[in-house]
Structure 1
């Protein structure tokens, strides 16, 4: 018999189509390589075996040959019947169609990823739609398994599946890099996507669309913008939601800390002790001149209220600008400088 496909799927030899689907769904989710990052090689082998078993047993023609001749029959190693009818060997198994005539059959297992994609309605890696927007979650940098249960992120998809209704494909996520200036002032971005849509007859054709994304002032890294059902259209499948996730580009002057902006300025020791003025250009192009009148010690911060990032829910209000300091000490002092400093500062200690 060779490989026991029924044992691999943990079903009986009388298993129905529904039994096979339930078994494959459970085992494919358990052994998918993306769910087993620390045991990937073994998981890939197991995932391939499970997929091949499901492909054979879910196809009545392949299952009939397997039940009669085993794995060897699928590979074309069936001996000719005793009465001489049919043709065995030669790389193709032979069986008889309902009309009594011989039909040549050759089993070429499909890719485990293709079987998984067909079953769940999306690709587990790299394939799918046309360039620019794939149905694969990996195409947009997001892992396929965001949690322990893939169906938990489908928005009630499990209920629809159990009820026999159309399933919704997993959401597609894509990073949307924005400069700090864009997140400060707000902006509009146009994104061109390519996807497939179905016509009235069910045939799919590629189309290009322009999506408009309004970036609001103060939005933070991780903010999500969702375009419902903008994935590829396929029969019996609700298209994926397309989700853009705000990412923040590094800035040459400022870093962001919540709603605050932080900048570090390098000043000499003399200015740290006697005071100075810090000149800055804001993210919206204004020039600020900030007098520093306090003695600047290594942990000192000058806080300018209301000059940080806009608050996302109240753009008229802003966080703070926090100025940190990197004090430049002299490399060496001569005798006169040392005595002068002692004379000036001695009484302060």
Structure 2
């Protein structure tokens, strides 16, 4: 179960930007790992939650989105907005990916940032390709299935070098997913 960003910072839902900033500073000082030598692991996790809460609540757009999706985010995987037996990744499935606690570090290992997000984007791409195939008879149609570039890894270039042209790059990934609309 996730903890509400407002609870993490110890503020009310109607807190002002100033109140949020003060609460963040107070909590960050309290939980900073350098000030908690006796509980480094616990303070590091708590400090990350505090930073995440502040990042969301200090941005008016992010805060508005969080407020409108708060219950689903806190619920995580417990409930789905799709009927039972429906195929595919649900919005409830995706909610857990809106937290930095879903990955461990910015490395390419299995539980690192790049692998975790590459896997979920690969899963969604595969589901879209399957849905496209079911909706379109690709043997008789000139319509081709959409291409979804890989999320990549820590060494994926922003833009491919045309001289080398080795696979997908970050720019291709964002161009494809920024205009994404499900099949």
Fold-level match, TM-score > 0.5?
no
From the two aligned structures, give the one with the greater helix fraction. Answer: 2
From the two aligned structures, give the one with the greater strand fraction. Answer: 1
| Higher normalized contact order (CA 8 Å, seq sep 6+, divided by chain length) | 2
Q: Name the TM-score, length of structure 1 as normaliser.
A: 0.23
Higher-Rg member (1/2): 1
Q: Name the TM-score, length of structure 2 as normaliser.
A: 0.41
